[in-house]
Structure 1
Amino acid sequence: MSLNVLFVGGTGQISYSCVQRAVADGHRVSVFNRGQRQDELPPGVTSIVGELGGSEYAALADRGFDVVCQFIVFKREQMAKDIEVFAGHCGQYIFISSASVYEKPASHYVITENTPAVNPYWTYSQAKIACEELLKSSSNLPWTIVRPSHTVRTGLPVMIGDSDIMARRMLEGDPTIVAGDGHTLWTLTRSADFAVPFVRLFGKSAAMNDVFHITNDKAHTWDQIQMAIGRLLGVQAKIVHVPTDTLVKYIPDWVGPLTGDKAWSAIFDNSKIKGVVGDFECAESLEEILEEPILHLHRRLANGRPPRGDFDALVTRICKEQGALGEA
């Protein structure tokens, strides 16, 4: 069944692949954003340019969308505006939240949708939780909440900082940082793999007023991930392990993405989403998962490697000071 679908966002790390899949599955797709990304939309997609919350945005309510996919709401007040705009004006509102909302550390090593959404470390996750709670309390707006974990398309997975700078450091033989001992399990999902079950949620009565995460079933350690990036770049990654608490002393803002996310193992049970949309497959080998991000990296590096700066200097300093521990 072809549905009239709106993507708010549509050109991002996850949403672009979902737009492609929705078109491939025969849906009529419109994309609302500021029109500033370079990725070309698939043929047949209607582009609507405007600002979130502006007059063009309010007018979307009159377009009769069957499904609205919201990828760029990050704050409670933005969610309040969306409820005002779309309540009574769409068949299904899908909010893209985040798997980082789950409690840290999880009370069970396998995360399900019943794992509490409590993250005391990261304001980003707390804002997503507030959006979820407001949406759940709304009326006349059938909703579905989707929580992606770490999903890759153009960017490489690293624990801190700019991934292009970390890749350049690998290429130039400089050390890079992994928080902890490198044995923490982490789940990576290709955006193209995420998109398949995501689009299958469209119009599903069993998906209404419920929460799902969509991730790979396979997890890898952070050391395995960084070593694979090095192999694909043709170099040996030089990893320096630094305790999370130590890293946060250097940059307090790292407490969110580390203590509030990547410092904990993330293994997911996807049986709930599969029970609604059917089985789906995700690439499991790191070589296949990282193939597209590596391709995008090489395209960027062809225009010049990122320059050295303060972040480079800090990474070098941390690696040197960590390496000096225990020396006579």
Structure 2
Amino acid sequence: MALSVLYIGGTGQISLPCVEASVRAGHKVTVLNRGRTAVALPAGVEARVGDMDDAAYRELADDHFDVVAQFRVFTADQMKRDIATFTGKTGQYVFISSASVYEKPVRHYMMTERTPLENKFWQYSRDKIACERLLRDQDKLVYTIVRPSHTVRTGMPIQVGNHDLVLRRMIAGKPVIIAGDGSSLWTLTRAIDLAEPFVRLLGNARALNDDFHITTDRGFTWNQIHDAIARGLGVASSHAHVPTDTLIRYVKEWEGGLMGDKTWSALFDNSKVKSVAGPFEASQDIDEILSESIVHAKERLKAPAPDESEEDRLMDRIIAAQDALGR
């Protein structure tokens, strides 16, 4: 069944492949974004330029889209505005949350949709939890919650530090920091692999007023991930293992992304989404998963390298201090 679908976002890491998959499914797609990227949308997609604070945003709801896929809500205030804007004006409001909402510290390495929602380390995750609760606490706007985990397309899954800085360290033959001993398991999913089951949730009666995560079915250690990145760049990898709590003492801002997410092993049981959207196969080959990200990274790295940054010097200091222990 062809649907009218509004994507709020639509050109991002995850949303663009979802737009493309929606077009392939025969849906009539409209995209609202701020017009700050030159990403080409598929033929037939209607592009509207605007922001969520514009008066035109409220008027957009009057088009009564069958589905509104919201990729750009991050706070409770934004969610309250969307509930007021789209209640009674769409058949399904799809909120893109995050798998980082699942309880940290973890009690079990395998996440299901029954895993409690609690993250005392990361404000980003707590804000997403607050958005989810607002949806559940009302009964007028029909919703579906989707929780991607680490999903890759143009970005690079670096565990610690600025991504392109770390890539340049790899190319220069310098060690890169990995929290702990690098053996915790992490799940990486290609955006194109998430997009197909995502689109099958749209207009799906069994998906209404429910929540789902969508990931691949296996994990990789952070050592394996960084080795694969180095392999894709054609360089040798050099790991510098540093305890997570030590890293946070150096940079408090690293706490959210590490203790709130990447330090813990995180694997996902996808049986729930498969029971509703149907079976799907997401790549389990690390080199294939990273191939598109590698292409984009190589293109970015053609730009002249910036001068050595404070973060780069800090990483050298942390690695030297850790390496000196026991000597």
TM bucket normalised to smaller? over 0.9
Residues 269-312 of structure 1, C-alpha deviations (whole Å, 9 max, x = no match):
00000000110011111110000000001111223334421111
Amino acid at match of 2:128: K
Amino acid at match of 1:212: F
Amino acid at match of 1:187: T
Aligned alpha-carbon RMSD (Å): 0.9
The equivalences for 1:60-99 within 5 A come to 60-99=60-99
Q: Distance in 1 between matches of 2:307 and 2:22?
A: 38
Amino acid at match of 1:59: E
Report percent identity of matched pairs.
Answer: 54
Amino acid at match of 1:139: D
Residue 136 of structure 1 corresponds to which residue in structure 2? Answer: 136
Residue 34 of structure 1 corresponds to which residue in structure 2? Answer: 34
Residue 112 of structure 1 corresponds to which residue in structure 2? Answer: 112
The equivalences for 1:150-169 within 5 A come to 150-169=150-169
Residue 10 of structure 1 corresponds to which residue in structure 2? Answer: 10
Contact 2:6/2:32 (8 A) holds in 1: yes
Amino acid at match of 1:261: D
Q: Distance in 2 between matches of 1:306 and 1:281?
A: 40
Shift of 1:108: 1.9
Give yes or no for the alignment of 1:227 onto 2:227: yes
Residue 255 of structure 1 corresponds to which residue in structure 2? Answer: 255
Number of aligned residues? 327
Residues 200-253 of structure 1, C-alpha deviations (whole Å, 9 max, x = no match):
001011000001000110100000000111111111111100000000000111
Residues 73-121 of structure 1, C-alpha deviations (whole Å, 9 max, x = no match):
0000000000010000001000000000000122222110000001111
Structure 1 window deviating more from structure 2 (42-51 vs 143-152): it is: 42-51
Distance 1:294 1:307, change over 3 A: farther
Residue 56 of structure 1 corresponds to which residue in structure 2? Answer: 56
- Give the TM-score normalised by structure 1: 0.98
In structure 1, stretches of 5+ residues that fail to align are: none
Amino acid at match of 2:152: V
Residues 152-178 of structure 1, C-alpha deviations (whole Å, 9 max, x = no match):
000110112221111111001111010
Give yes or no for the alignment of 1:205 onto 2:205: yes
Shift of 1:138: 2.1
Residues 129-155 of structure 1, C-alpha deviations (whole Å, 9 max, x = no match):
000000111232110000000000001
Amino acid at match of 1:10: G
Residue 305 of structure 1 corresponds to which residue in structure 2? Answer: 305
Distance 1:192 1:165, change over 3 A: same
Secondary structure, counterpart of 1:100 in structure 2: helix
Residue 265 of structure 1 corresponds to which residue in structure 2? Answer: 265
Secondary structure, counterpart of 1:303 in structure 2: coil
Q: Distance in 2 between matches of 1:57 and 1:27?
A: 21
Q: Distance in 2 between matches of 1:315 and 1:19?
A: 39
Contact 2:233/2:298 (8 A) holds in 1: no
Shift of 1:315: 1.0
Residue 124 of structure 2 corresponds to which residue in structure 1? Answer: 124
Contact 2:5/2:69 (8 A) holds in 1: yes
The equivalences for 1:17-28 within 5 A come to 17-28=17-28
Q: Distance in 1 between matches of 2:307 and 2:51?
A: 32
Q: Distance in 2 between matches of 1:305 and 1:272?
A: 45
Contact 1:7/1:32 (8 A) holds in 2: yes
Secondary structure, counterpart of 2:194 in structure 1: helix
Secondary structure, counterpart of 2:66 in structure 1: strand
The equivalences for 1:168-247 within 5 A come to 168-247=168-247
Distance 1:306 1:22, change over 3 A: farther
Q: Distance in 1 between matches of 2:314 and 2:42?
A: 41
Residues 23-55 of structure 1, C-alpha deviations (whole Å, 9 max, x = no match):
111111111110101211111111111111211
Distance 1:46 1:230, change over 3 A: same
Q: Distance in 2 between matches of 1:140 and 1:35?
A: 31
Amino acid at match of 2:189: T
- Give the TM-score normalised by structure 2: 0.98
Amino acid at match of 1:43: A
Q: Distance in 1 between matches of 2:137 and 2:257?
A: 28
In structure 2, stretches of 5+ residues that fail to align are: none
Q: Distance in 2 between matches of 1:25 and 1:303?
A: 38
Structure 1 window deviating more from structure 2 (136-145 vs 87-96): it is: 136-145
Q: Distance in 2 between matches of 1:305 and 1:47?
A: 35
Secondary structure, counterpart of 1:252 in structure 2: coil
Secondary structure, counterpart of 2:5 in structure 1: strand
Distance 1:252 1:32, change over 3 A: same
Contact 2:18/2:196 (8 A) holds in 1: yes
